[in-house]
Amino acid sequence: MTQLVADKYGIAKALKQLGINEMNFGASTGTVHWNTTGKKVDSYSPADGQYIGSTNQATAEDYEKVMKTAEEAFKVWRMVPAPKRGEVVRQIGDKLREFKEPLGQLVSYEMGKSLQEGLGEVQEMIDICDFAVGLSRQLYGLTMHSERPKHRMYEQYHPLGIVGIISAFNFPVAVWSWNAALAWVCGDVCVWKPSSKVPLCAIACQNIIASVLKANNVPEGVSCVLIGNPVGDMMNNDKRVPLVSFTGSTRVGRIVSGQVAQRFGRSILELGGNNAIIVSEHADLSMVLVGAVFGAVGTAGQRCTSTRRLIVHESVYDKTISVLKNAYGQLKIGNPLDAANHVGPLIDKGAVNDYLNAIEKAKKEGGKVVVEGGVLEGEGYESGCYVKPCIIEAKNEYHIVQEETFAPILYVLKYKTIDEAIAMQNGVPQGLSSSIFTNSMREMEQFLSHEGSDCGIANVNIGTSGAEIGGAFGGEKETGGGRESGSDAWKVYMRRQTNTINYSTSLPLAQGIKFDF
C-alpha cells in the first residue's frame, strides 16, 4: 500500500532524489553526517498515515561534537568577505531551484499542507537566498560627527557566532532558511534543531546544500543539523550560542526566553498568533471571501498567521455568513498532494483532539456553530488527521477565542463602529497579523495609525497570511516581539560596535572634561 500511494503521487521518486532512506542521520555538520545512538524518531505522513522514514535523536555527545565543529568553522567563515559568503548563498538558492519539486512534495507529504503551499514554501527559501545575496553587499553602518576636533566616529557590524535555529512543524524548511540565509551572509554559522514531527525535511535540506558547501570549500560546521527535542534545552542554556531563534508556541517560548536571557543571550521569538480580519461595511465582499477562506483553512489552519477571527460590521454580517457558508460547502478535503483538494490534514491526532476540544469549549461558552466541524473517516482519511473546517459565531471575550488553536476554526464576531472593531482586534494576548477589508480611506488610515492595529503585521484588503520575505516578519505582545526575514532584520544576527578614531596630536576628552596632570 505504501509503495502504491507513493508511486501515485510521485513521493517515492522525490524521496530518492532527496536522499531520504532508512540510513538517515541524526546529526550533521554540513557534508559530514552520522547516525546517532539516541532515541529513534519515526516520521509518518498525516496525509495517509504511512511510514516515511526514521532517524535518531542526537545525544549530548553528538551535540558537543557539532558545537565544537561549529565553533571552529566560525573562526574561518567570519573572515570570508561578505560578498563571497553571499555567492555561496546564491548557489544554495540555485540548488533549491533545482530541487524545488521534490522538496515541495516532501514538505507536503511529511507536514500535510497542500502541494501548492509546499512548493510555495520552497519558493520562500529561494527568495530569501536572493535577498541575502544583495544584503551581503549592504551590511551598512553609520558615520557620526564627533564633538572633538580631528576625530571620526562610525559604527560597524560584526558576526555574532553560532546561531541556534529551533523551527516548528508547520513551516518545516522556510523558517530555517529565513534565519540561515541572513546569518550566513552576516558571517555566522548555524545549528538547526527542526521539529521532531518533520525531521526528514531538514535532512533533505542538508542533503541538497551539501554539494554547494563542498564545492566552495565551506568549512565543516557552517550548516549543522541536530535531531531531537533534548537539543533545544542544550542550545538554550549554551553560552556558546549567542542567538537562539525559536518558532513555536507561546508556552514554550516563555521557557526559551527565560533560559536564554538567564545567560544574557539574545532570542528571536516567533510565537502564537490570534489573527483577525475586520470586514467593514465598505468592504468588497468578493475579496473578503478569498482572503478569509484561505486565511482560515490554508494549511488546515496551522499557520501562525492563519485567520482565527472574522470581525464583521453588523450591516454586512448576515450576508458575510451566507457567503462563507456557501464557500465552505465547496471545499474539497483530502490528500494534500492532490491538486484538486483545498484542505489537507492536521499534523497528528493530538492536533485533532485540540481541534475537537476547542469546538466543545466554544459551544459551552455560548458559541453558535454555523458550519459544523468533525473528524472525517473512511477511504482517503485513514490517517485520522482530516477534519472539517468549522465556523462558529462567538464573542471576543470567550476564553477559547482568546487562545490560539492550530486548526481550521473560524470565529465570527459582530461590531457596530470601527473603534469597536479595532478594540476587538487588539483585545487578545497575541499580536502577530491583522487585516481590514474596506474601501474607506479613513478606516484604512485609522487601522494603520497609532490608535489602530497593535500587531507586527497590518494589512489592508489582503488577508492575514501570506507574508512576503521583503518585510520583517514577526509580532508583538505574546507573539514575542521577534523579527525575521526582510527589511533590517539582519541586524539581530550581528553585534554593533561604535568606533572613534583620533587622528590629531592631542587627546581631548568628551563633554569638555579637563584632566590635566
Neighbour count for residue 355 (Cβ, 10 Å)? 24
Q: The cell 525559536 sits on which residue?
A: 246
Q: Taking Cα atoms as reference points, which of 508, 500, 512, 515 lies closest to residue 146?
A: 500
User: In whole angstroms, what is the distance from residue 358 CA to residue 391 CA?
Assistant: 12
Respond yes or no: is residue 270 known to be catalytic: yes
Among residues 110, 121, 124, 270, which one is catalytic? 270
- Cβ-based burial of 142 (10 A; exposed 0-12, middle 13-18, buried ≥19): exposed
Indicate the Cα dihedral angle 482, 266, 246, 262, nearest 10°.
-120
User: In whole angstroms, what is the distance from residue 386 CA to residue 278 CA?
Assistant: 28
CB 144 within 8 A of CB 154: yes
Sign, CA dihedral 13-45-115-6, equals positive
Q: Taking Cα atoms as reference points, which of 105, 118, 111 lies closest to residue 45?
A: 111
Q: Regarding beta strands 275-279 and 433-437, do their DSSP bridges make them parallel or antiparallel, or are they unpaired?
A: parallel
Q: Around 285, how many Cα atoms within 13 Å sit in the side-chain half-sphere?
A: 14
Q: Is 63 helix (H, G, I), strand (E, B) or coil?
A: helix
CB 128 within 8 A of CB 471: no
Among residues 129, 186, 304, 385, which one is catalytic? 304
Within 195-348, where are the H helices? 199-215, 230-236, 250-262, 285-297, 317-328
Residue 133 is which amino acid?
A: V
Respond yes or no: is residue 186 known to be catalytic: no
Q: Which residues are catalytic?
A: 270, 304
